[in-house]
Amino acid sequence: MDRETLARYLSQRKELGEGDIVFSRLSGDEALALARARPAAPAGETSAPLSGDYEEVRRTALACERCRLAGGRTQVVFSDGNPRGRLVVIGEAPGMHEDRTGLPFVGRAGKLLDLLLASVGLSRKDSVYICNVLKCRPPGNRNPMPDEIEACTPYLERQIELVAPEVILAVGGFAAQFITGRQVALGKLRGEIYDYRGVPALVTYHPAALLRNRGWTQAVWDDLQLLRNTMDRTGRSGGG
Ligand code: URA
């Protein structure tokens, strides 16, 4: 079945009042949005570096249609926090609450992230800029797909360039892969300081993973101490 036929089929089911169908973890509406969405642009077409100042890049992202996720989102989730922050935190992708509010990390995982940052004297109000590998919510919170990451990466690269943080903290496997270029388990990557284009970068478990597995608490605590020490050593003056 091609994409148009699938979209027509799903639309007719919806009009007839037929309930959700199980497409992995997708609801009927999510499957329909996916089928209606335009296919991702061919590899290479979307990955050129972006130029432009912060506002231009933000405006471009808010209108972005580079990949299929544009078809299913409520809002593009560009960032939160201080664009002049000392620390950039990179997560994976917006979830349901983020898609609704347009802000990253506002659900349960976000509340935990704020607490973790506060434990080392950091906050999105003064010292932290927060963004994600993907700016739009994947349907059913599935993992980001490689072509979606490729299409979205120029935004993240430019955000980091423009914020010019002293330190980067990547939370979760997808952000860690972006920073390190390595596709291995997070437990094997954490505890080290990487160099992301001249900026010291650390990786740790995603707060959502920590909520599911409290056994990682000590590791995250250690990572936060390493983060704090790294920031104290890089020592730009002011906020956090
Ligand atoms: N998880 C993420 O990785 N990012 C968010 O913005 C929310 C949850």
pLDDT single digits (tens) 150-181? 999 999 999 999 999 999 999 999 999 999 99
Regarding the beta carbon of 103 and ligand 1, being less than 6 Å apart is answered no
Return the top range by mean pLDDT from 23-32, 35-44, 148-157: 148-157
Regarding the beta carbon of 76 and ligand 1, being less than 6 Å apart is answered no
Pocket test for ligand 1, best of 97, 132, 211 (most atoms within 8 A of CB): 132
Q: How many CA atoms lie within 13 A of 40 on its CB side?
A: 17
Structure tokens at 138: 């994947």
Q: Is 238 a residue whose pLDDT tops 50?
A: no
Regarding the beta carbon of 109 and ligand 1, being less than 6 Å apart is answered yes
Regarding the beta carbon of 98 and ligand 1, being less than 6 Å apart is answered yes
CB–CB of 230/167 below 8 Å?
A: yes
Tokens 């927060």, residue located: 130
CB–CB of 167/199 below 8 Å?
A: yes
Residue 24: what pLDDT? 47
Regarding the beta carbon of 104 and ligand 1, being less than 6 Å apart is answered yes
Pocket test for ligand 1, best of 77, 96, 98, 169 (most atoms within 8 A of CB): 98
| Rg, Å, the chain Cα set | 19
User: How far does residue 136's CA lie from ligand 1's centre (Å)?
Assistant: 10
Residue 47: what pLDDT? 79
- Which atom in ligand 1 lies closest to the alpha carbon of residue 77? 6
* Higher per-residue pLDDT: 30 or 63: 63
d(CA 162, CA 38): 30
